[in-house]
Chains A and B, each alone.
Chain A
Amino acid sequence: MLDRLAIRSFCNQVVSGAVAAAFIVAAAGLKPGCLIAQETAPAQQPIPAPPAAPRPATLPAAPRFVVVLDAAHGGDDGGGKFGSLLEKDLTLALSVRLRSLLAARGIAVVTTRESDASVVPERRAEIANHAAARACLSIHATQTGSGVHMFVSSLPPQDPARIAAWKTAQSAWVTRSLALEGVLNSALLQAGMNVTLGRTALSSLDSMVCPAVAFEFAPAGGQKGEKPATSLDDPAYQAQLAEALAAGLLAWQAEARQP
Chain B
Amino acid sequence: MSPAMSIVRRIQTWLFILLLVASAAMGVVLWQLRERAHQRLLAGQDSAPTQAPVVSPEERATLMVANDADSSMQPRELTLPLPQDDGSRARVILGKLLDLYALPDATHPVPGGAASIGQVFLLPAENLNGSPAASAPARNAGPAEASIAAARGVSVANSGAGQKNTAAAAQDGGPELAVVNLSSAFVASHPSGIEAETLTVLSICATLHANLPRVTQVRFLVDGQARDTLAGHADLTRTYLASDAMPTEGTNP
Task: Give residues in A with beta carbon < 8 Å to B.
Answer: 2-3, 5-6, 9-10, 12-13, 16, 19-30, 32-37, 73, 77, 79-81, 87, 140-146, 149, 151, 154, 185, 189, 194-203, 206, 214, 216, 218, 223
Contact = CB atoms under 8 A, between A and B. Distances in A.
B147 A24 contact: yes
Contacts of B61: none
B121 interface: yes
Given A16-B47, A140-B233, A200-B198, A32 B240 contact: no
A196 B102 CA distance: 23
Given A144-B195, A223-B69, A2 B31 contact: yes
Contacts of A87: 192
Interface in B113-141: 118-119, 121, 126-132
A23 B224 contact: yes
A218 B71 CA distance: 13
Contacts of A142: 191-196
Contact of A23 (B34, B132, B148, B239): B148
- Of residues A33, A79, A140, A203, which shows the largest number of chain B Cβ atoms within 10 Å of its Cβ? A33
A19 B118 contact: yes
Interface of B: 30-31, 33-34, 37-38, 40-41, 44, 46-47, 49, 68-71, 118-119, 121, 126-132, 143-144, 147-148, 150-152, 179, 181, 191-196, 198, 201, 219, 221, 223-226, 228-229, 231-235, 237-241, 244, 249-252
Contact of B41 (A12, A37, A141): A12
A27 B148 contact: yes
What DSSP secondary structure best describes chain A's contact surface?
A: mixed
A35 B151 contact: no
Contacts of B128: 32-33, 35-37
B194 A140 contact: yes
A151 B179 contact: no
B37 A32 contact: no
A26 B244 contact: no
Contacts of B241: 35
16 contacts: A9-B41, A13-B37, A13-B47, A19-B118, A23-B151, A34-B237, A37-B129, A143-B191, A145-B68, A149-B194, A151-B194, A200-B234, A201-B238, A202-B233, A202-B234, A214-B194
B131 A32 contact: yes
Contacts of A24: 147-148, 150-151
Contact of B221 (A23, A33, A151): A23
